[in-house]
């Protein structure tokens, strides 16, 4: 299976956070390919600068050293994201949905607001 991790999921993975379910840990560990979007360090960096969370310095290097593949944002992703139905207003999450759709990836997330989008999803809490 080819998966794309939502931003909170990569943090939970790196922190060994108990919110990440055992089935999800197994899915991530056994995935054929596990992607982290370029939008993730951007989103998390903004939240860190606002004092909303902590994350490791050099997050992109940490992600790659843990065996995840970085997924760049393409023009096609950028074109699709704003045209998605307005089920979710967060532009970072809309980009993840666009990437999952165009790249045929299963989005691993605990964000219930994304459930209405036409993509494969896996509940990160399971």
Domain assignment of residue 126, yes or no:
no
Concatenated DSSP letters of 25-86: HHHHHH-SEEEEETHHHHHHHHHHHTTS----TTHHHHHHHTTPEEEPPPHHHHHHGGGS-T
Element (H, E) at 18: none
- Count how many domains the chain has: 1
Range of the domain at 116: 2-120
Q: What pLDDT shows up at residue 92?
A: 97
pLDDT single digits (tens) 65-78: 999 999 999 999 99
In a domain, 90, yes or no: yes
Residue ranges, the chain, pLDDT below 50: none
In a domain, 33, yes or no: yes
């Amino acid at each position: 299976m080819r998966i794309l991790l939502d931003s909170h999921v990569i943090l939970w993975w790196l922190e060994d956070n108990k919110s990440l379910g055992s089935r999800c840990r197994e899915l991530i560990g056994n995935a054929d390919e596990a992607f982290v979007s370029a939008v993730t360090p951007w989103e998390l960096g903004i939240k860190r600068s606002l004092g909303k969370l902590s994350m490791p310095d050099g997050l992109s290097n940490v992600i790659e050293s843990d065996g995840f593949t970085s997924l760049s944002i393409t023009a096609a992703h950028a074109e699709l994201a704003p045209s998605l139905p307005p089920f979710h207003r967060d532009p970072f999450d809309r980009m993840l949905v666009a990437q999952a759709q165009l790249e045929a990836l299963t989005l691993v997330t605990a964000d219930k607001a994304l459930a209405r989008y036409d993509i494969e999803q896996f509940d990160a809490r399971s």
